Amino acid sequence: MIEIVMYSKKYREDLSKLIVEFYRQSLDEYGLVEDDNTIEEFEASCGESTFILLKEGEPIGLLAGSVSYSNLFRAKIYQELVWYVDEKHRGEGLRLLKHLEEWCKEKGIKKIIMAFMHNSMPERLYEFYIKKGYIPLETHLIKDVS
């Protein structure tokens, strides 16, 4: 059975494994690595707006973000920070997006901002989001100047 639940600390250990894998697959090449503070920082920034995808009660994915007021849009927005599903279960990940969209409607959140890493099939993800009704907003570029 597949279900989606809000994050709670009882999923912390399993969620931590998913976040480590997300960092390994998506962020390592940018010099961003998971450390001992990652899960605490995650809980503080988006624990209340994180959805866990469960299969037979075990976490297999998450969609996490933060809710804030945007002066640009003059509305509450949801900014996605992590959308990760274990590779063996990627076909189930769309459930998280659908759930997020319904949750945002219920909470009066007017805009959802989704992102993707340029090292993870950007053309395919771009087309996916366009098909789901999302429109391009901006592109971020990063440079290490340390």
Task: Give the mean pLDDT of 133-138.
Answer: 94
CB 5 within 8 A of CB 54: yes
User: Using 50, 70 and 90 to split pLDDT, how confident is the model at 26?
Assistant: low
Q: How does pLDDT run across 3-23, given as a tens digit for each residue?
A: 999 988 888 887 777 777 776
Predicted structure pTM score: 0.85
Q: Name the percent of the chain lying above pLDDT 90.
A: 49
CA dist., res. 11 & res. 68, Å (int): 24
Domains of the chain: 2-131 (3.40.630.30)
Helix (H) or strand (E) holding 107: helix 94-107
pLDDT at 79: 95
Residue 142's nearest CA partner among 32, 18, 34 is: 32
Q: What crossing angle do the helices spanning 12-22 and 38-46 adopt, rounded to 10°?
A: 100
Q: How does pLDDT run across 29-87, given as a tens digit for each residue?
A: 656 555 666 677 777 778 789 999 999 999 999 999 999 999 999 999 999 988 989 88
CA atoms within 13 A on the CB side of 5: 16
